[in-house]
Chain A
Amino acid sequence: MLYEGAILLVEDDPNDIELTLNAFDRHHLANHVTVVRDGEEALDYLFRRGEYADRDGQPNPQLILLDLKLPKVDGIEVLREIREHESTRTIPVVALTSSRDTRDVESAYDLGVNSYIPKPVEFDEFIKAAGQLGLYWLILNEPPST
C-alpha cells in the first residue's frame, strides 16, 4: 500500500524536481513523493534529525530516488550512510544519472545502487526500474492512467 512519503526524491535542481513531479503527477503519484533538496536534508529526513526530528509514526520511504551530485553532503556519502544504518539498509536506491553515459551508470552501480534512471525522470523509466526491483505494488496499486 502506498503512502505519503513512500518515494523519497533527493534532488537539488528545481527544474528536474519540477519535471519529475510533473511526470509523477500525470500518473497521480505526486503526493506519494517527498522531496529533499540536498544530502544533509536527506539524512536528516531518513534518520529523523533536525527539522525532521518529529517525523514520528511515519515509516521510512520504500524507494529512494537519489541524484548523485548534490550540494553539502554528496549523494555518494548519503548512499554510504544509508547502507551503513540498520534502519535504512534494505531501502532500494535508484540513482538519477545525467546521461546514459556508461561512465555515469557504472560509477552508480559501483556505489551500490539498485538501479538507475537517466534524467529527466520519465514515468516509463521509473516503472521499469521499479519493476526490476520487484516493487510491483507501485504499478499494481496505481495503474498508470493517461
Chain B
Amino acid sequence: MTDSLFSGTSRSAAPTHADGDAEHLPTASKRKESPGGWAAPVAAFEPDQFGSAANQTATNTEPARPGTRTYDETIQSYARIATTCAAIGAIIAAAVLIVWAAGIDSLVNVHTQLWIMHANTALAILLSAIAVLLIGNQDNRRREPGFFRPRTRLDLLIGTLGAAAATIGVLTIFEYAAGIKLGIDHALASVGPLGDENLIRGPSTVSTLMMTAIGAAIALSAWYGERIWAWVQMIAASTLLMSLMVLIADVYDTESIRNLSSPLGATVTSAVGFGLISIAVLLVRPLYGWMNLIAGEGNGSEATRRILPVVLFGIPVLGYVRLAAQNSGLIGTEVGLTLFAGATIVMTTVVVLWSAARINRHEDLQLISEAERDRARALVDGLVANSDAVISVQDPEGRFALINDAFERRYGVDREHAIGNRSYDVLDPERAFLLERLRNDVLARRNAAVEEMPADEAIDGKDEETYLTQLFPIVDDEGNLIGSGSIATDISERKRHEQLLQRLNDDLRHETDRAHDAIDELESFAHTVSHDLRSPLRAIDGFARIVAEDCQDVLEDRDRRYLDLVLQGAAEMGSLIDDLLEFSRVGRTELNVARLDMTKIAKEVNDHLSHERQGRDVRVTVKELPPAVADQRFIAAVFQNLLANAYKYSRKREVAEIEIGALEPDDGAPVTYYVRDNGVGFDMQYADKLFAPFERLHRTEDYDGSGVGLATVQRILRRHGGKIWAESKVDVGTTMFFRLD
C-alpha cells in the first residue's frame, strides 16, 4: 500500500507528513491560502511552500482543524459516539465473561448458546473495546509515522491488545481447520461448572473471523498510524456488515437460517458486540482514511451522511415488512418481491432527491459567500498591489511568499526571483541582515504586536530615502505562526522636512542666543559705560564745586558764570546718563505685576515733584483714577515723566493748570488715563517724533531734557501691552493719553 493512495484522500486530515505533499496541509492554513488569496496582481503565492513550512515549524502545536466551530463539534461528536460504542461493547463483553466465569447454570446452557456469546469471543471484544477506548483517549497530536515502530507506550499497548484479540481468533481458526483440539475454546468455559466440553461448543466461525479481523486492524493501526486507517476502516466496515447480516438473519428467521453452523451463524450478543466495536473503529478517527468521505466537510460527505443511514437501515426494515407480510399469508412471494423492489426504489429516490435539494441550496449559499470572498480578496489584492508602501510576507522559514510592486521597485528585485527565496538570496547582504535581525526579533516574541523600525537605521541608507518599517508576526485562528509581514512606508519627505525644520530651529536658536548675547552685552556695556562716565563726571562736578566755593570771592563774574556752566553741564550729563540707564533697564527688567491704586501713585509722584512748584502758581488736580494691573515702579516712572513734562512746559504760564484723570468707556474697553497741561503745546505734525529717543520738539535752552523720557514711557507701556499718544495745540496745552491693556 502506498501513502498517497489513502492519505491522499484526506482532504482535511489533521496530521501531515514531513514529505510535504500538498494534500497533507493542515486544513486551516490550506483553506486560507489555497484559494490563491494573495494571488493575481500581487504575487504567485505558493501555498505548498508556505504550508509545508508551517508544518515543519508547528511540530509542537495542535494540527489545524477545520475552521467552523460547528463542524469541529461534529467531528468531536463522532469521536464521542465511537468511545460510547466501545464502552457499551466492553460492558456487554465483561458481563458475558462474568456470567461464564460464574457459570450460572440457568444462563449458560445448550439453549442459551444461541444468545450468549462464547467466552473467548467476549474476551476478544473486551480487548478490542479497551484498545479503541485508548485510541479515542489518545490526543490527536500528529506523530511521525514509524515502520513497525510504535511511537508511544500507549501505541504499544493498543497494538498488543489488538494483537491478543487477533491471536485468539487465529488460534481458533487453526484449531477448526486442522481439526486439532488445542482446548483454547474451552480455556475459559471449562472453568465454570459447565465443564462438560461436549455440551459447550466453540465460538462460531463468523465470530472467529470477526475477532481476528478487528483485532488485526487495531494492531495494524497502532503500528502504522494514520496511513493504515483506510484499511482499518475497510476491515471495520466488513465486520460491521457481517454483524448486521447476522442480526438481520436473526430478525428475519431465527429458525431456519440462523444456525450456529451456518455461514451466518453467530450469537446475537457477539453480533451486537462486534457491531459496536466496528462502529467505534470507524468513527474514532473520522478524519482519517475514507471515513473522511462521510465525516468530511464537502457536499459529497453531506450527501453520504444523509443517504447511508437510509440504505443501511431502511432496506432491512422493508425486507422485514415484506417477509412478515408473506409469512402471514397476506401476499405471495412474487408480489412481496415486487413491492419490496418498488418500495426500495421509492425510498432511495426520495432520500437522494432530498439530499440533492439540500446540497444545491448549500452550494448556492456557498457560491454567494465565495463571490463575496472573491470580492473582498480583490479589494485587498488591489490595495496591496497599488500601495506605495513596500509590502512583503515571509513564511516562518524566511522565504518570501508575497511581495508587491513597490517592493520590486524599491529593491530592484524580480518577483519570480524573490518568491520562495530568502532575504539573503534576494536583497543585498546588509539589508538582508537588518531585515532578518528584526524579523527574528519579532518572531521570537511571537505575539508582540507591531515592531517599528526606523528605516534609516535599518534597511535604509543606500540612497537618500528613509523608510519606516513595521514587522509583525502573522498567526492563524489557532494562534499558529504562519509567517511574518513587513510594511515599509516612505517617510523620506517627512524626514527631510523634519531635518529642515530641525536645522531652521537650530539656526533660530542660534540667532536667538546671539541676539540675547548681544542684548546682554549691550546692557552690561550700557551699565559699565554709565558707571565709567560717572567717575570723571564726579571729578568735574566735585572739584568745580570746591573751586566755586573756595574761590567765591576771588573769581571774576565772568569766570564764575563759566564755572556755573561747567557745573550745569555736569548736571545735565548726569541726568542724561540716568535717563539712558533707565531707558535700557525698562527693556530687560521683569515685570512685577500687581493691582495698583493709580490715584495714590499719581498723588505720591506729584508730591515728590514739589520742587517744580516752588515759586510758581500751579493748580494740580488729581481725579479719581480706576485701578490698574501693572508694575508699580514702572507706572510711577510713567507718571513721573508725564508730570515732569507738564510742569516743565507750563512753566511760562502765570497760572499753570495740570489735571490727571481717566476716561472709562462704557463698553468695557480699557481705561484711558491722561495728564493734561495748559503749557506751550506743540505742532501735531511732529507728534510722531515725540516718542523717539533723543528727539526733541523744543530748544534745549528753552526747555531742558534729554529726549529720552517719553521714549522710556512708551517702552514701559508697550511692555504692559498698552500704548501712549498725545493731543496738543500750540500755546493751548498738551494732553498725554495712555492705556494699559
Contact = CB atoms under 8 A, between A and B. Distances in A.
Contacts of A119: 534, 538
Contact of A15 (B530, B531, B539, B578): B539
Nearest to B528: A69
B526 to A, nearest CB: 11
Given A22-B546, A101-B578, A103-B585, A15 B538 contact: yes
A98 B542 contact: no
A16 interface: yes
A98 B531 CA distance: 6
A98 B534 CA distance: 7
A99 interface: yes
Contacts, number: 37
Interface in B518-571: 530-531, 534-536, 538-539, 541-543, 546
Contacts of B539: 15-16, 19
B581 A19 contact: no
A119 B581 CA distance: 17
A22 to B, nearest CB: 6
A44 interface: no
Interface in A1-21: 13, 15-16, 18-19
Contacts of A15: 535-536, 538-539, 542-543
Given A19-B542, A19-B543, A120-B542, A69 B531 contact: yes
B535 A13 contact: yes
Given A19-B542, A22-B546, A99 B535 contact: no
Nearest to A16: B538
Q: How large is the interface on A (under 10, 10 to 19, 20 to 34, 35 or more residues)?
A: 10 to 19
A15 B541 CA distance: 11
Q: Which of A99, A103, A119 has the most CB of B within 10 A?
A: A99
B578 A19 contact: no
Contact of B534 (A18, A19, A22, A99): A99
Q: Which of B535, B538, B541, B578 has the most CB of A within 10 A?
A: B538
B578 A99 contact: yes
A101 B538 contact: no
B543 to A, nearest CB: 7
Contacts of B531: 69, 98-99
A69 to B, nearest CB: 7
B636 to A, nearest CB: 11
A143 B414 CA distance: 110
A121 to B, nearest CB: 10
Interface in B632-646: 633
Contacts of B585: 103
Interface in B63-79: none
Contact of B581 (A13, A16, A18, A101): A101
Contacts of B541: 120
A76 to B, nearest CB: 15
5 residue pairs, one from A and one from B, having the closest CB atoms:
A15-B539, A19-B542, A120-B542, A98-B531, A120-B538
Given A18-B543, A99-B577, A99-B581, 16 more contacts: A15-B535, A15-B536, A15-B538, A15-B543, A16-B539, A19-B539, A19-B546, A22-B542, A22-B546, A69-B531, A98-B534, A99-B531, A99-B578, A101-B578, A103-B585, A120-B542
28 contacts: A13-B535, A15-B535, A15-B536, A15-B538, A15-B539, A15-B542, A15-B543, A16-B535, A18-B543, A19-B542, A19-B543, A22-B546, A98-B534, A98-B535, A99-B530, A99-B534, A99-B577, A99-B578, A99-B581, A101-B578, A101-B581, A102-B633, A103-B585, A119-B534, A119-B538, A120-B538, A120-B541, A120-B542
